[in-house]
Chain A
Amino acid sequence: MDLLHLNDELNIVGQAKKYGIPLWQHPQFLFLVMGVIIILSSTLSYFIGRRYITDPEVVALFVIVLTLVLLVLAFIIAKSFEKLAEASRLKSEFIGIVSHQLRSPLSNMKWIAELLASGKNNHKQEEYFQMLQENSTRMQELINDLLMVSRIEEGGLALKKKEFALQDSLSEVISSLQPMIRAANIILKVETEGNPPKVFADPRQMHQVLDNLLENAIKYTGRTKDAVLKDGARDRTVTIRLKKEARHLRCEIEDRGVGIPQEDKKYIFQKFFRSTNALRHETQGSGLGLYIANSIVKSSGGKMGFRSKEHKGSTFWFTLPIARQ
């Protein structure tokens, strides 16, 4: 920690103002108060001890034990307040990001509507209407995702679990994404080992997970015209594999697209995070998809993960518990 930073840390009043929390909730301030209390009570106990207890060793022990207990208490209290302050800061940060993300399509729509109403550029009307539609879809998707996030955070992801064949959901998702697959010239391969067992999960939510992963694989393979794609990323194959493991069914979705840069990997499942890969700008997204998918898989009793190499592609996988026969 450099000196400037230390100075910042010590400016308690400034920090409390910055994060919008009252002084008594500020961890450093509390620590200071606790420190003063500890010093006072240790000194006091020393004098009291000396007066009533004759053995100096017992006095010393008494003071040390009391100080230690107070120190631990102070630490616990300050820690819990710190968490509280962090949670409140994260919440306002979240609201900030959300309103900004909602505002963009909204202000786009406002201006497009203004253009349409002005009656100028009549020959471009169709294009404007299409833009209007795209932006309203984007806004709707964002709101759906946000509702999902709030359900996840309240711990209220109501999963209607039942036995079903994951490959059926997969076929549904593939057929709904067919236009996108064709438009992007994707070669889609599905590899299954034998007859995959049924899983025990919520089919509707798993539909969303598969849809998200497959859509990402297609999006980040890139369009043939994207100049940013390196030679290695020209392969347009997306492979889906279903494999039975001991108690789980494993599903892998592999693309040969732009991949995820090393420094972005640890954030990939965080909400609102979008990788700075080569196609970040060409693709739209709220940065909520993988966060939601990961939460659904986790609460279904499975795991999700990925491996990826920049310019070589990514493989996202998840597991789901197999239904008991």
Chain B
Amino acid sequence: MKTILFIEDESALQKTVGDVLSDEGYKVLSALDGEAGLRLAKGKTPNLILLDLVLPKLTGFEVLEKLQADEKTKRIPVIVLTNLENLQDVQRATELGATTYLVKANYELAEVVEKVKTALRE
């Protein structure tokens, strides 16, 4: 079974996205802040990381940076799932190694699941 790490501080999203992904047969690990997320990423080496950018303790950007700096986590694909849509934010996240950048408000839940599936197939 493939494992997805979901780093997001909104409990409502942890629940909805978590439920949908579990229904699809993935094992979902959830982290409510950047620090816990990074710890899980290093400890459990998931197949994919879904990452919010506005997070307590460590921001999503910092998490991306630290994931890139570690050989163990460097190759894990990261989908950024956020409500920030400044061009600068998108550029920065992509430069820091995010594979896909999704703005929550512009996507249906089903589309997010599709993106996850595609990223896991590649």
Contacts and interface: CB of A to CB of B under 8 A. Distances in A.
B110 interface: yes
Interface stretch (A8-16, A66-74, A104-112, A310-318): A104-112
B120 interface: no
Given A103-B105, A108-B16, 8 more contacts: A100-B83, A108-B10, A112-B12, A120-B23, A124-B19, A135-B12, A276-B56, A281-B56
B49 to A, nearest CB: 19
Interface in A102-133: 103-104, 106-108, 110-112, 114-115, 120-121, 124, 127-128, 131
A166 to B, nearest CB: 36
Contacts of B16: 108, 111-112, 115, 128, 131
Contacts of A280: 56
A281 B32 contact: yes
A96 B89 CA distance: 13
A289 B33 CA distance: 24
A106 B13 CA distance: 11
Interface of B: 9-10, 12-13, 15-17, 19-20, 23, 32-33, 54, 56-57, 83-84, 86, 104-105, 108-110
Nearest to B82: A100
A134 interface: yes
Contacts of A276: 56
Chain A contact-residue range equals 20 to 34
B104 A107 contact: yes
Nearest to A103: B83
Interface of A: 96, 100, 103-104, 106-108, 110-112, 114-115, 120-121, 124, 127-128, 131, 134-135, 276, 280-281
A134 B12 contact: yes
A110 B12 CA distance: 11
B85 to A, nearest CB: 9
Contacts of B110: 114
A284 to B, nearest CB: 10
Nearest to A18: B88
B115 to A, nearest CB: 14
Choose among A104, A106, A108 the residue with the greatest number of B CB atoms under 10 Å from its CB: A104
Nearest to A124: B19
B54 A100 contact: yes
Contacts of A100: 54, 83-84
B108 A114 contact: yes
Contacts of B13: 108, 111
12 contacts: A96-B86, A103-B104, A107-B104, A108-B10, A108-B13, A110-B105, A112-B16, A114-B110, A115-B16, A115-B109, A124-B19, A128-B16
